[in-house]
Structure formats: structure tokens, C-alpha cells
Structure 1
Amino acid sequence: MPLKQNTIGKIMLLLLLMFGVSLVLYNYSNQASVRVIQDEIEASNLSRLSFFATQIDNMVNQLSVQTIVMSRDKSMEEWARSGSRTASFSDIQRQESVVNKLNVLSATSVWSNQMILYLPRKGLTLSSSRFGEYDPEELRQSHSEQWVYQTGDDGSSYYSKFLSNPLALQTEVILETRFSSQNIVSMLDAYKKDSKGDPFLYVGGQAFIGGTTADEKLISGVMARLEGEGRSGKGHFRTMLEGEDYIVFYTRSEALGALLADYVPLEQTLSPIVHSRNLFYAAMGFLLLMVLTVIYILHKQVNLPIRLLVRGVERLMSGQLHYRLGYQPRNEFENLFIRFNEMAEEIQRLVEKVYLENIRFRDAKLKQLQAQINPHFLYNTLFFIKNMIVMDEKQTATGMVMNLADYYRYITRMEHTFTSLAEELEMVAKYLDIQQMRSDSFHYEVDVPHEMLQLQVPRLIIQPIVENCLLHGFKAGNRYGIIQIEGRLTGEGFAITIDDNGVGMREDQLQGITDKIRRPVEVGESSFGLWNVHQRMLHQYKEGGLLFSPSPLGGLRVTIHGSEPKG
């Protein structure tokens, strides 16, 4: 069935097109959503990391403020002015007061810290845990008025900051504040609990402070990128670590002068989007399955029955009246299939009835045609016998009467319209013998293969043609006539040619006689022998009739051809 006529096919195509358009639109929308959500996630993570850096800076700034508060304490100034290497009882009291205030100030911070006092003039140091001398050279090497990352002899790390310049030895008091890097580790661990990443504080070089579960190998890769690109401020970038794609967020801690960084696998960052996309694809897959199921049901329940009905109609139109629909759709089409089979059966019955009536009509017509031939030939023969009797040629008349009796016996057997070619040729020979008895102005030759003699042909198909040769071919030219009858088998059937050396016909005459035998005989027309033969050949054979052409003998050639007989 052509596509333009296949409505079900159009519906199927429309469903697939709608599904395809929906998928394309979703892909476009999903990509836009991924970009927007990814930007939002990146901005959110960076904002969260910046807030975390602010918390660290606040804690560090609080320690700086405590150092300033301590530097303005009067008891510390009194102790610094009166302190000596051999302390008196009053000096011990002042020292105890200073230590208590150091402990109080350290306790006000959430972070564990330590404040240390240095007396450059006397070379003494005081803290909550020690009192004694210190090495001025060591103090010069570690001094800084900014927070500096330090590593102790025992491997511990800490940040330290000095309030006064230790190079100026005339300074009465130098304050140092220290806090352990473990404070930052604890905050990193707390931050990591609510994060999918692994935050760390990049101090510089190869030094960093990470959580207790920090992956040093991955952090080294991130620090290489941070150091190599000279990143500062805040931002994010993507990088490959251990064959996996990561997104790195970083921001600067202004108080410590270090970068706070966090790296997260990109897959984890986009996991909500990927999960949503996978759910959509699963839904689209289910929808596609439903669409295919609907298409299959439409094809099975609608398209296939319609195609079978169309095929059945085409079979009936081509003449296959026995064709029936054996498929049972088990739906509304089942009743239609039953009615189609009933209709086909009724059509077959009616056609067979009409066919049988046509056969009977054709047989009646053939017998009528034969009856039209018989009086014509009988009239001519009796007229000749009369002349022979008048001329007192009794022997010729007797021979003609005998031939006429055999001929009449042949044509009056009306129960059979077919005879063997041998009998037909024998009867033609008797007819020509009768004509030769009348006039010895021609002779005839018959050349038919032996295998054709038993061929069944309609009665009286050759005699009217040889009669036409004698009446129109020879008399008009007043010459000695020759008639040749030949037969041959062809691939489609048989062909019998009758040649004469008469006057022949022009091309327009050949076309005229061809047209004449193809149309109904006109009322009152007396000569219709060739038309009679042609019509009977048309009725008896699927392809048959008469053909006219110039004869090699110089006259006219008439070819009687027939293929497979009709049922």
C-alpha cells in the first residue's frame, strides 16, 4: 500500500517524530540546565569555601586582638620594669599575675593557643608553661609581625606572630602568640563532614595543612596547579587527578596569607543532574517502549487487517475468485473479514453462473455460425451438380454427389465443434476435388507434419478460405491457380497457412479486410466466410484468428493461428 494512502503508517511516523522531537528538545534543555545548575553549584561551593575562610580569619584575628590587649596590660609593664634575674617576692607575685592573665586570655579563644613574653634587655622569657632565658639569635630568625607557619623540632607545626620588632633590643617587652595547626585540622574535618570534597590550607611550596583523612597524593597534584599558575584571590578550575576529572575551588585567607582549597570529583558535583537525566532517559525509554507497543498494536490490529482486505480485493479484481481471508484479527475487523469471504463466495458463484451461461451462449452461436456456412456451400454445390446433369456428365455428377454426401455427413455432426486436423484436411481435399471436377484450372498441395494431424481444430476453418481463393483469387486474374496448404507448430500453438498465386491485394485492401472480419457482420451482407472463421477462432482460443499478408506465390496468404483453447 503506498505511503500516501497508508493512514496507519502516517500515525506511526507521527508518533516516532513526536518522540524524536521531545528527545531533541530535552537534550537541548538538559544541556542548558546542566550549565545553569553547574554554575550555581560552583558558585555555592565557592561561597561556602569563602565563608569557611572567613571563619578561620575571624579566629586568627581574635588571637591577634588578644595579643594587643595583653600588650597594654599594666601588670605586664610593671613586671617587665622590675624583673631581674634574681627575683624578689614582689617580682614573683607580679610574674604570677602576668601568667594568670596569659592563661585567661588564651582561654577566651576556642582555639588552643599560647602567649609568650620576651624581655630583650634582661634576656628572659615568660609563658604559662615556662620562665627562664632565651636565645636572642633564635628569636631574630623566627621573628615576624605576620602570621608565619612554623615547624617545631618534634615535627609539630604551628602559626606564630610577634607584636613588637625583636631586632630592637631596647624594646622592653615582645609578645608572641602561637596556635597549633591542629586547630585548622579540626575545622577542616568539621567542614568535610558537610562537603563532598577534601579541603586543605595551602601554605606555600610543599607545605599544607589537611584534614585527618587528607589524600596527600591528590593534594600534591592540586598544589602543583595552584603554585604553577600563581593563583590568588578566589575562583575554581578543572584538572585531571589520577585519571579522574576534578573541580578545584580556592579562596585566600587574608589573615594567614594562604590559600584555602577544596577539590571535588566532577561526577559527584553533577550527580544530582546526572541522576535527573538518567531518570528522564529511563522515562523516555519507557515511553519509547510504549510508543513501539502502540505501533505494534496498530500494525497488528488495524494496519495488517486493512492490508489483507486490500490484497483480497486486488486478488478478486485479478480474477482469483477462490481467494479467501484466513486471518482472524479477533477484533472489530473479524466481522468484516467474515463478510468479505461471504461476498467473495457470492461473487464466485455469480461469475461461475454467468460463465456457464456464456459457454452455452457461445456454443449456440458457434452452431448458428456453422448453420450459416452449410447453406452457402450446399447452394454452390447443388448448382454445380445441376449443371453437370444438364451437360450429361453423369460420372462427374455421381462423384460430386458422393463427395457431397461425405462432406455433408461431416458438417452435420453438430454434437462436436472440434475435429482432428486430419479429418478437416480430408474434407478440404474432397471439396477441392469437387471444384476440380468442375474446372481443371488449378491444382493444390498439402504439406502438414504428421504430428499435427491429430491436433483438434474447429470444423470448417480451412474450406471457406480455399473457396475464397477459387472465387476471388483465380477467376479475377484468369490464370492457372496454385493452392498450397502448410501447417507448423509454434511455441504458443499452431499456424496453418493457405497460399495462392491469384491477383493478391494491396496494403489498403489487406487492412480493409482485416478491419472487416473484426467488426460485427452487417445486415444483408452475403459473403461472411472469412468473418465466420475469424470469429470462431476468437471464441475457441485465448489467442486466435486470421492474418492476411502477401504470398510468396504472388497472391494472398491467409494464416490461421491459435494458441491454448479456452475452457
Structure 2
Amino acid sequence: MENKTFSRIYAAIFTIFAVAIIIGTLLFFKQISNAIDNEKESLTNELEILNISINDNLDKLSQSAFLISKSNSLLEFEIDSSRYSPEQAYQLLLAKNFEDVLQIQSFSIKMMNNFEVFFPKTQQTLGTSAPYKNLTDKKVILFRNWLYEKNQSGALLSYYTNNLNSKNLESTNKTDYIVRVSVDPNQLLAQNMRSSDGVALIINNSIYTNNLFNDANKFFYDKYANGNTDKNSFITFKHNKIYLMSRYQDDQTPLFTLASVKDITHIMPNIILSIIAFLTVISILTAVIFYALSVIRRKIHQPLREVTSGLLEFQQSNYDYRINSHAESEYQYIIKNFNLLGQKITTLIQDVIDEQDRTKSAELKQLQLQMNPHFLYNSLSFIASAAKLNMTDDVIEMCYSLSDYYRYILSKSNGDNTIKMEMDAILTYLHIFEMRSQRLNYQMAINSDLYDIKFPPMLLQPIVENSIKFGIETSEDNLEINIKGFIQQEELILQVEDNGKIITPKEITYINQVILQGDDQTHIGLINIKRRLHYNFGKTTSLKVSQNTPRGLVVTIKIPVASLV
């Protein structure tokens, strides 16, 4: 019971310990997750602000292009082109220094950009960029009429004030000129960024960054540009650093995608500090728990288990068991008194055994003293009568028989007596009665293999004496006594049969259930035999009386072979 109790205590402690570790681990990872989420939110906000700034700049550029397309000089060019040839109208526009106006307008936006006017009829361009024909290799229509143009020299984002015919670059609304504003994606990104690197502009799977020489950043950008991941954000490691990758695209302005990489290694000191704090708490908690378990085991569990073991030894009748323990407090008192109790029990048991030996010895001597006077008196009377009749041989035989019989009952003890000695004494006893009375016949059938078995003296003799007493003295018929000894079903069977007194079933029941149970103290002969049987061979032996046919009794003794020495 105590092992189960302490097993539950240990299980509960370890469960609490495991739950604490799990909760601490979850809180630790929650802290890391919160730190990363904060970095993600910060990076997303930065990209969102950058996106707004870029779109705002593009809107300003497109608005400027629109205002240029409505300038008085270009309106006068349309009028002049109707009165003069296209070349003459173009020369008049040049004379007004309109290219200077475009140059001034280009720098007024405070970023690297180009404003130009293309004249399809003359195939000539006014503006700050290279000739228009160098930018006609590829056009892709994007958001708000902004185009992504690319040629051998690079790529530009371009805005045209009029819709174009993609084949011959003429205005679809039949104007005589087309105003165009263009900006380099790298310059657009650099103009709006707050930091010097870490952000990429992704347009049509092309990457633009203000730091093309940062291989680490370019590697991260390629993950988005080449479609290697569909995640908007993820954590990656490179060059012993932790990087947070994020992607942002405004659904309302899908002109480009912003991708950013941020070194978040700076959060590691806090994480390491949290790890150290977490491991420190776990270590302290572990030490406290194991110390508590050690105290519980040393001061409570171990002494209690020792006391329990001692009680189990007592249940096995091992009263010599002593607890060797240095337990403290109340357990020291318990163990001390437990050992004292064991010592007292051992002493008491030995006293009881000694008293039983003395009692059995006294009972045997009392039985012998009860038999001897009456038996000796009758035998001496026979000798006196035979002497008067000059029956010398009978007198001699009787004297020798009495001598052998009394030598046996006065000198033998339990230690060296055998069944053969007991049977020889009984035969002598019967022979003495046979000489005194002509009405006694007896037979003995004992297997010779049983002769050497150790057997208490004077155990069967009282049974034979009862047969004679209640047979001859209560009847005038001849008395027959049969004594048998054999092994049957792992038991030694000894029986004394007689044809003496007629006995009723009620009397048989009374003998077995009252006299042999010790409830009738006036008949001590049979109960003493039963006690001696139990004392010498254990409680598994039995003594039972039954009716003989047609008259008399059968007294049966059963002793397990395993109990014989």
C-alpha cells in the first residue's frame, strides 16, 4: 500500500515538473514567436510606407507629364503643324527652347527621371533621354498606363499621355505628339528608401535594388522573383545571421512587388537571455524537486518501507528480524519500539514453547503415574496368586514382562523412540493382560518398513488400555484387539480395533465433536493423545473414533508422511 502511495506522490511530482517544463517551453517559444511577429509587422509597415511613397511619386510624374502635354507651346505646335509642314512646326518648337522646359521639369520632381516629347510625323524627340527609338524594343502595359520597357541598355518605367499603337508608335487619338515620362526602377527605389539596402523592387520577375553588389540580399530577392516560395514572409539563415524575408504588394496598385530582407540577429541577445533564464529556472526547479524527493525518500519513504518490510517478516513468523536504520524524528521512535516488540515477541514465543514442553512432559508423567499404580496392583495380585498355586513359570514370565514394560515407559523419550519400540511395549502390555485374563485375543499387523520411524512413546498404549477397560470389564465375551499400521495416500495410518462395548452413533458424535475438541475436561485420555499428535507432527494430524462392525470401536490416527522425521 505504501509503495503505491509514494508511487502516486512521485508520479504527481514528475507530472507537475513535466507540465512546468512544457509550459515554460511554450512560453519561451511564444516569446520568440512574438519577437519575430513584431519584426514582421515592423517590416510590413516599412514596405507599406515605401509602397505609398513610390506610388505617390509615380502619380506626381504622370500628373506632370499630363500638364506638359497641355502646355501652350505644344498647343501652338499643333496649330503650326496645320499651317506648315511637320518639320517646320518642329523647328518653331525648337526655337522656343522647349527642351529646356522639359529639362527643368525633370529635375523639379527631385529624382532621376526623364521627360520627352515624341513627334511621330517627324520621328524626332525632344527631351532629356536618349533617342526614343532605343526604347522601343519591348513594351508591357501595366497599371495606370505605366509601361515596363526594356532594351539592351536597361529597363525603364514609362508613362505616355496618349495611348499608343504598338506597331508604329502612333497616337491612337491622332495627336501630333506624345509626351513621355520615364524613371529607372533602381533610382525610383533609391529615391524612396530610408535605408541604403535591404529592399528590392520586383517588376515582371525582374529584380531591382539600390545595392546590386550585395550577394546575400540578391540571393533572398531571387527567392521571390524566381517563384521559389509562395510565402509572404519566412526566416532564413546565411553567413551566421538570421534574416527575415517579407513581401508586400498592394492589390489596388499591382504595378510592382516590394521584397525586403532584414537582419534580425539583434533579437538573439534577448532570446539567449531568455534561454539562460529559462534553463536557470528549470535547473533550480529540478534541483529543488530532486532535493525534495531525496528528503521524502530518506526521511519518510525509506523508513516506512523498512517498517513495512519488518511487518511482512513478522507475518512470515520471522520474529528475529530487526530494522537497522538511522531514521530521524518519529520514525526513530517507531523503529526502536518495533525492534523492542520483536525482541519481546521472540522471548514470549520461547517462553510459550518452554511452557508447552513442560506441560507436555507433565501430562505424560501424569498419564504414566495414573496408569502405573492400578496396572501394577493387578499384576502383583496375579503374581501372588500364581505363587500360591506354585505356578513358577507364570510368575517368572510375568515378572520379566513387567520388568520390560516398566523399563520402556520409565526410560524412553521422544528423541530416540521408534514405532517398533512402541509396538513391542504394547505387545508386552497385552501379553500381561492375556496372562491375567483368558478372554483377550490380539493381533498386530505393522508393515516392517515403518519400524524405524520416530514415534512418541506411550501414544497408542492409552488407546489399547481403553479397549481393554471398556471391553473386558463391561462384557463377559472374549475381547479381540487388532492393531494395524500402513501407508495410504501419503499418510501413516495407525488403527486400534476392538469388538468390545456396543456404542451408539450419538456417543460416537459426542466423542469426536466434544471430547476430542477438549470441551469435556473429564475425559483427558483421548484429548491428551490428540494434543501430543499436534505437538509432535503438526495440526494436520487427526484422531478419529468410529463404530466397528458388529460392535466395538475403531480409533484411527492419520499422520502426513511429510511430517514424519
Normalised by the length of structure 2, the TM-score is 0.73
Tell me the residue number matched to 1:500: 498
Relative distance call for 1:263 and 1:507 in structure 2 (3 A) is farther
Relative distance call for 1:314 and 1:169 in structure 2 (3 A) is closer
Structure 1 position 125 matched with structure 2 position 104: no
Contact 2:28 2:274 in 1 (8 A): yes
Contact 1:500 1:556 in 2 (8 A): yes
Within 5 A, what are the aligned runs for 1:240-279?
249-252=247-250, 254=252, 257-260=254-257, 262=259
Residue 538 of structure 2 aligns to a residue whose secondary structure is coil
Q: CA RMSD in A?
A: 5.3
Tell me the residue number matched to 1:152: 151
Deviation at 1:519, TM superposition (A): 0.7
Bigger mean CA offset, 549-558 vs 81-90: 81-90
Bigger mean CA offset, 467-476 vs 56-65: 467-476
Counterpart amino acid of residue 177 in structure 1: V
Contact 1:465 1:498 in 2 (8 A): yes
Residue 171 of structure 2 aligns to a residue whose secondary structure is coil
Distance 2:270 2:339 in 1: 59
Relative distance call for 1:551 and 1:74 in structure 2 (3 A) is same
Counterpart amino acid of residue 469 in structure 1: S
Relative distance call for 1:20 and 1:86 in structure 2 (3 A) is same
Counterpart amino acid of residue 547 in structure 1: K
Structure 1 position 54 matched with structure 2 position 56: no
Distance 2:412 2:508 in 1: 33
Structure 1 position 181 matched with structure 2 position 180: no
Tell me the residue number matched to 1:518: 517
Contact 1:542 1:566 in 2 (8 A): no
Residue 250 of structure 2 aligns to a residue whose secondary structure is strand
Q: Deviations over 1:10-51 (max 9, x none)?
A: 422332443466578789999999999998877666554333
Distance 2:480 2:274 in 1: 100
Contact 1:324 1:344 in 2 (8 A): yes
Counterpart amino acid of residue 535 in structure 1: R
Contact 2:484 2:495 in 1 (8 A): yes
Tell me the residue number matched to 1:107: 107
Contact 2:363 2:528 in 1 (8 A): no
Tell me the residue number matched to 1:533: 529
Contact 1:80 1:119 in 2 (8 A): no
Tell me the residue number matched to 1:201: 202
Distance 1:350 1:164 in 2: 124
Which of the numbers 94, 97, 100 marks the counterpart of 2:96? 94
Counterpart amino acid of residue 431 in structure 1: Y
Which of the numbers 428, 431, 444 marks the counterpart of 2:429? 431
Deviation at 1:356, TM superposition (A): 3.2
Deviation at 1:176, TM superposition (A): 1.1
Counterpart amino acid of residue 543 in structure 2: L
Bigger mean CA offset, 23-32 vs 315-324: 23-32
Deviation at 1:316, TM superposition (A): 2.8
Residue 419 of structure 1 aligns to a residue whose secondary structure is coil
Deviation at 1:326, TM superposition (A): 4.1
Q: Deviations over 1:234-286 (max 9, x none)?
A: xx7799x9xxxx9975423756x424254999x99x99999999889968975
Residue 145 of structure 2 aligns to a residue whose secondary structure is coil
Tell me the residue number matched to 2:240: none
Deviation at 1:57, TM superposition (A): 0.3
Contact 2:157 2:184 in 1 (8 A): yes
Tell me the residue number matched to 1:448: 446
Within 5 A, what are the aligned runs for 1:195-234?
200-203=201-204, 209=208, 212=212, 213-215=217-219, 218-219=223-224, 222=227
Counterpart amino acid of residue 323 in structure 2: L
Residue 458 of structure 1 aligns to a residue whose secondary structure is coil
Deviation at 1:180, TM superposition (A): 1.0
Counterpart amino acid of residue 357 in structure 2: I
Distance 1:555 1:238 in 2: 112
Which of the numbers 317, 320, 340 marks the counterpart of 1:319? 317
Residue 360 of structure 1 aligns to a residue whose secondary structure is helix
Structure 2 runs not aligned, ≥5 long:
164-169, 237-243
Bigger mean CA offset, 445-454 vs 287-296: 287-296
Deviation at 1:109, TM superposition (A): 3.2
Contact 1:120 1:170 in 2 (8 A): no
Counterpart amino acid of residue 545 in structure 2: F
Deviation at 1:557, TM superposition (A): 2.3
Relative distance call for 1:258 and 1:325 in structure 2 (3 A) is same
Counterpart amino acid of residue 219 in structure 1: Y
Residue 366 of structure 1 aligns to a residue whose secondary structure is helix
Deviation at 1:353, TM superposition (A): 4.3
Counterpart amino acid of residue 446 in structure 1: M
Distance 1:8 1:143 in 2: 79
Contact 1:53 1:253 in 2 (8 A): no
Bigger mean CA offset, 53-62 vs 437-446: 437-446
Distance 1:38 1:137 in 2: 44
Q: Deviations over 1:377-415 (max 9, x none)?
A: 334444555666788866545543443343334333487
Distance 2:8 2:291 in 1: 16
Counterpart amino acid of residue 218 in structure 1: K
Relative distance call for 1:264 and 1:467 in structure 2 (3 A) is farther
Contact 1:373 1:529 in 2 (8 A): no
Residue 549 of structure 1 aligns to a residue whose secondary structure is strand
Structure 1 position 167 matched with structure 2 position 171: yes
Q: Deviations over 1:154-212 (max 9, x none)?
A: 3x110111224552797465321110122245479877956xxx754343xx5565674
Deviation at 1:368, TM superposition (A): 2.7
Tell me the residue number matched to 1:558: 555
Distance 2:557 2:503 in 1: 18
Q: Deviations over 1:468-488 (max 9, x none)?
A: 222324665654433222334
Counterpart amino acid of residue 180 in structure 2: E
Tell me the residue number matched to 2:301: 303
Q: Deviations over 1:41-67 (max 9, x none)?
A: 776665543333212101212222333
Contact 1:82 1:91 in 2 (8 A): no
Deviation at 1:114, TM superposition (A): 0.8
Bigger mean CA offset, 364-373 vs 472-481: 472-481
Relative distance call for 1:558 and 1:127 in structure 2 (3 A) is same
Residue 321 of structure 2 aligns to a residue whose secondary structure is coil
Within 5 A, what are the aligned runs for 1:383-532?
396=394, 399-413=397-411, 419-473=417-471, 478-488=476-486, 494-502=492-500, 505-514=503-512, 515-519=514-518, 522=521, 525=522, 528-532=524-528
Contact 1:498 1:557 in 2 (8 A): yes
Relative distance call for 1:129 and 1:38 in structure 2 (3 A) is closer
Distance 1:99 1:395 in 2: 179
Structure 1 runs not aligned, ≥5 long:
226-235
Deviation at 1:445, TM superposition (A): 2.0
Counterpart amino acid of residue 320 in structure 1: N
Distance 2:294 2:72 in 1: 96
Counterpart amino acid of residue 108 in structure 2: T
Relative distance call for 1:542 and 1:361 in structure 2 (3 A) is same
